Amino acid sequence: MYLHGSSQINVHGHLEIGGVDTVALAKEHGTPLFVYDVALIRKKAAEFKEAFEKEQVPYQVAYASKAFSCIAMYQLANELGLSFDVVSGGELYTAIKAEVPMNKVHFHGNNKSPEELDLAVKAGIGCVVVDNFYEMTLLEETCVRHNKTMDVLLRITPGVEAHTHDYISTGQEDSKFGFDLTNGQVDQAIKQALASPHMNLLGVHSHIGSQIFETKGFVMAVEKIFEYIEHWRTELEFIPRVLNLGGGFGIRYVEGDEPLPGGEYVYQMIKVMKQYAEKAEMALPEIWIEPGRSLVGDAGTTLYTVGSQKDIPNVRHYLAVDGGMSDNLRPSLYQAEYEGILANRANEEATDTFSIAGKCCESGDMLIWDLPLPKANHEDILAVFCTGAYGYSMANNYNRIPRPPVVFAENGDVQLVVKREDYEDLVRLDLPLSR
Ligand SMILES: Cc1ncc(COP(=O)(O)O)c(C=O)c1O
Ligand SMILES: N[C@@H](CCCC[NH3+])C(=O)O
């Protein structure tokens, strides 16, 4: 059994996270329940930051809040000295509500609406990562309207294919994101941004994908960008002051996943950037990164209560829990794999394999196939590990299932940071038929 961060088995044979008994948590808050190990988030953030600080490189580590967004999480990220990557008006609004410094917010998205840009400009965010020409026009108009100037990065697709699931690979040429580096679009975007009195072009941004275990893709992205830097300098009089290499650093979900420590990705980026900057006789650009999954992914665990079972002899034993694709879309979306244990009988040996089904009306609503477990019954609590990234944030109300609450656990203390939705919440926006 692989336990992440502060997770351990206590004297009662129960899974403990952040010094808190998860069985007690399930009793108090009900299930499904997301539990975050705050100390592990602190550790992950420190790893990235320390790598930059050790190398004395100007940097920003922006938390990619799409991985898990709520007011308390922005506040924690702020406490940890992180900046914030938001990708919608909703994430930006949550960050505003969290009262984090707006100048540390970077706004992403391939189709930002006029209203979203308006909110961003009014709030005075740190920078907009401009994705396309339409957005550039909208941003220009918005800045004119508010008589403001905005720092911008240009999102580019460097033509690097990350080794990961197709749906979470973004750096290849055939991608919906960003300006293409090789076909002249980036040059045109640079010219347009430089010509704008309302945009201050800081540099470029590349994000090659997610759940990446090797540094090669990031190094290749830097190499590709530097291939163009001389051209930008001589032809367009543009030298990037910031190079944002995005996020995508992998985590261990299951045995066989072998991520590097966060600092290792950073060291390799710095190493190659220093080489290329020296060769180009230019000052080292600031390096920005945007980890999401690697900051919060393995810090999150979902607790479920075991319900019905269906044993098909010699075929499969299904074990259904009180959540599923409504709180974790990743298995059905990407065939993502997870590990789990019975939180209340954590020391017991597995006797068989069980396939964990969700409660949604979809055959594809399976959380884990063939998980070794002791024989379970309806009083058992199943803990599924590593659900901290893209779990709650992709949770939904399919079948009108209310979304679970979220607690933060640290040093024996628990804080409820997102309440459980109830049935009233589900009908809050519904209007009766008018006759
Ligand atoms: C632009 C951008 N930055 C950062 C991230 C965060 O990625 P991850 O959670 O894999 O670190 C993403 C998501 O893939 C992204 O699209
Ligand atoms: N949501 C995805 C990753 C996409 C990241 C956003 N660009 C996942 O769960 O792996």
For the stretch 83-129, pLDDT in tens is 999 999 999 999 999 999 999 999 999 999 999 999 999 999 999 99
Q: Which ligand is nearest to the CA of 336?
A: 2
- Taking the centre of ligand 2 as the mean of its atom positions, its distance from the CA of residue 390, in whole angstroms, is 6
Per-residue pLDDT band at 167 (split at 50, 70, 90)? low
Q: Specify the ligand 2 atom closest to the Cα of 389.
A: 9
Nearest-5° angle of CA 282, CA 215, CA 204?
A: 40
Catalytic center residues? 361
Same domain, 308 and 178: no
Question: Any idea what the CATH number is for the domain that residue 271 is in?
Answer: 3.20.20.10
Q: Which residue has the higher pLDDT, 377 or 165?
A: 377
Per-residue pLDDT band at 318 (split at 50, 70, 90)? very high
Same domain, 251 and 320: no
Average pLDDT over residues 168-187: 82
Average pLDDT over residues 271-288: 95
pLDDT tens, position by position, 322-348 = 999 999 999 999 999 999 999 999 999
Structural domains in the chain (count) = 2
Same domain, 397 and 274: no
Q: Which ligand is nearest to the CA of 331?
A: 2
Nearest-5° angle of CA 19, CA 24, CA 27?
A: 150
* Residue 249 DSSP symbol: B
Which of 295, 315, 346 is at the close of a domain?
Answer: 295
Same domain, 288 and 303: no
- 268 belongs to a structural domain: yes
**Cross-strand partners of 189:** none
Residue 182 above 90 pLDDT?
A: no
Q: How far apart are CA 360 and CA 400, in angstroms?
A: 10
Same domain, 240 and 317: no
Return the C-alpha torsion angle 40, 46, 51, 55, nearest 10: -170
Is the N-terminal amide bond of 114 cis, ω within 30° of 0?
Answer: no
Does residue 210's CB lie within 6 angstroms of at least one atom of ligand 2? yes
Residue 199 above 70 pLDDT?
A: yes
Q: How far apart are CA 55 and CA 120, in angstroms?
A: 33
- 195 belongs to a structural domain: yes
Q: How far apart are CA 55 and CA 72, in angstroms?
A: 31
Element (H, E) at 59: strand 59-64
Q: Judging by DSSP bridges, how do beta strands 316-321 and 59-64 pair with one another?
A: unpaired
Residue 379 above 70 pLDDT?
A: yes
- 310 belongs to a structural domain: yes
- 186 belongs to a structural domain: yes
Q: Quick check: 144 and 202 in contact, CB under 8 A?
A: no
Q: Specify the ligand 2 atom closest to the Cα of 211.
A: 10
Residue 149 above 70 pLDDT?
A: yes
* Residue 369 DSSP symbol: E
Helix axis angle, 216-236 relative to 185-195, nearest 10°? 60
Question: Any idea what the CATH number is for the domain that residue 347 is in?
Answer: 2.40.37.10
Average pLDDT over residues 278-307: 97
Same domain, 376 and 419: yes
- Taking the centre of ligand 2 as the mean of its atom positions, its distance from the CA of residue 120, in whole angstroms, is 23
Same domain, 348 and 265: no
Structure tokens at 412: 């024996």
Same domain, 270 and 391: no
Q: Containing domain of residue 313, as a range?
A: 8-30+299-427
Binding site feature residues: 248, 290-293, 330, 334, 362, 390
Residue 165 above 60 pLDDT?
A: no
Check residue 159 and give its pLDDT.
83
- Taking the centre of ligand 1 as the mean of its atom positions, its distance from the CA of residue 170, in whole angstroms, is 9
Check residue 174 and give its pLDDT.
76
Q: Quick check: 154 and 193 in contact, CB under 8 A?
A: yes
Check residue 160 and give its pLDDT.
83
Does residue 168's CB lie within 6 angstroms of at least one atom of ligand 2? yes
- 118 belongs to a structural domain: yes
Average pLDDT over residues 388-401: 98
Same domain, 138 and 190: yes
- 435 belongs to a structural domain: no
Q: How far apart are CA 316 and CA 292, in angstroms?
A: 35
Which of 276, 295, 314 is at the close of a domain?
Answer: 295
Check residue 164 and give its pLDDT.
60
Check residue 189 and give its pLDDT.
97
Does residue 108's CB lie within 6 angstroms of at least one atom of ligand 2? no
First to last CA, the chain: 59
- 3 belongs to a structural domain: no
- 222 belongs to a structural domain: yes
Does residue 155's CB lie within 6 angstroms of at least one atom of ligand 2? no
Q: How many CB atoms lie within 10 A of CB 59?
A: 20
Residue 169 above 90 pLDDT?
A: no
Q: Quick check: 156 and 178 in contact, CB under 8 A?
A: yes
Residue 23 above 70 pLDDT?
A: yes
Check residue 242 and give its pLDDT.
98
Average pLDDT over residues 303-329: 97
Check residue 274 and give its pLDDT.
96
Structure tokens at 370: 């063939």
Check residue 171 and give its pLDDT.
59
Looking at the predicted complex, does its ipTM rise above 0.90? Answer: yes
Q: Which ligand is nearest to the CA of 211?
A: 1
Same domain, 235 and 306: no
Residue type, 386: C
Percent of the chain, pLDDT > 90?
94
Same domain, 147 and 258: yes
Same domain, 268 and 303: no
- Taking the centre of ligand 1 as the mean of its atom positions, its distance from the CA of residue 292, in whole angstroms, is 6
Which of 295, 310, 334 is at the close of a domain?
Answer: 295
Residue 427 above 90 pLDDT?
A: yes
Nearest-5° angle of CA 158, CA 127, CA 103?
A: 145
Nearest-5° angle of CA 339, CA 343, CA 345?
A: 110
pLDDT tens, position by position, 30-67 = 999 999 999 999 999 999 999 999 999 999 999 999 99
Q: Under the phi-then-psi rule, with left for phi > 0, alpha for psi from -120 to 50, and beta for the rest, what region is 59?
A: beta
